Chains A and B, each alone.
Chain A
Amino acid sequence: MPITVTSRDSALTIALSGEIDHHGAREMMAQLDQAIAERLPTRLVLDLSGVTFMDSSGIAVLLRSRRQLEHTGGELRVTGIPAQARRVLDAAGIGRLISLE
């Protein structure tokens, strides 16, 4: 479950790829936790354009990142959302909680 981290000033972009399900979610959360804790970004962009499948485990990943950012006073945006992941996020009404682009 690879993630790619790019940072510029206090902004962090993390590209997620592959399938996000319960099987891989724990490792992905740990990687995200570490990246956020190391850099304490004021802005975090999660780029989902490389995600080939996502179920509600992906929602848990996003909500956890949001909570982490709230602790540091940062802002979370989610970009590059593929159609299947968008349908999952829309069904759960996540757009009310997180900025989806």
Chain B
Amino acid sequence: MKAIDQVSVAFTSRSANEGFARACAACFAAQLDPTLDEVADIKTAVSEAVTNAIVHAYPDRLGQITMRLRLYDGGVLDIQVKDAGVGIPDVDQARAPLFTTGGEERSGMGFTIMESFMDSLKVRSQLGKGTTVTMRKRIARRAGAPR
């Protein structure tokens, strides 16, 4: 399936960039004329994915995070958040609700929220090589809206 439109942004794993990533994804999705709830869902899921990369992928150093946004026919939005960090030892365990290695500042609900707010979530990870999180959401066409 060929993307109609795509944008890639790369940024340093500084927590200040969480807001940048949210805003960037929301701006890209705006061309689909999403509802406010859909925009909020996208921003929340992106915030979780990017925060995971910042907190867990690069625990002792700064690294690069790449976010790729792709749009397909039928209002399908793919969001990929990729890092080249330490990787996740056990992806199934990491996806379990309340599991966290991030201390008191993390709730362990990041993946649960990504799953709840997006239509699908895929996590690929390799120790020492990094993690790629791919989320998909279909934005329903509103009556009378051009596309």
**A contacts, CB < 8 Å to B:** 19, 21-23, 25-26, 29, 53, 55-57, 59-60, 63-64, 83-84, 87-88, 91-92
Contact = CB atoms under 8 A, between A and B. Distances in A.
B113 A88 contact: yes
Given A26-B105, A64-B104, A53 B112 contact: no
A57 B106 contact: yes
Contacts, number: 74
B94 to A, nearest CB: 13
A84 B41 CA distance: 8
Interface stretch (B4-12, B47-55, B134-142): B47-55
A87 B117 contact: yes
Interface of B: 15-16, 18-19, 22, 37, 40-41, 43-44, 47-48, 51, 54-55, 97, 104-110, 112-113, 116-117
B117 A21 contact: no
Interface of A is mostly: helix
A88 B37 CA distance: 12
Given A22-B51, A23-B18, 11 more contacts: A22-B47, A53-B44, A55-B48, A56-B109, A59-B107, A59-B109, A60-B104, A87-B117, A91-B112, A91-B116, A91-B117
A88 to B, nearest CB: 6
The list of the 7 closest CB pairs from A to B, nearest first, reads A23-B15, A91-B116, A59-B107, A55-B47, A84-B40, A60-B107, A92-B109
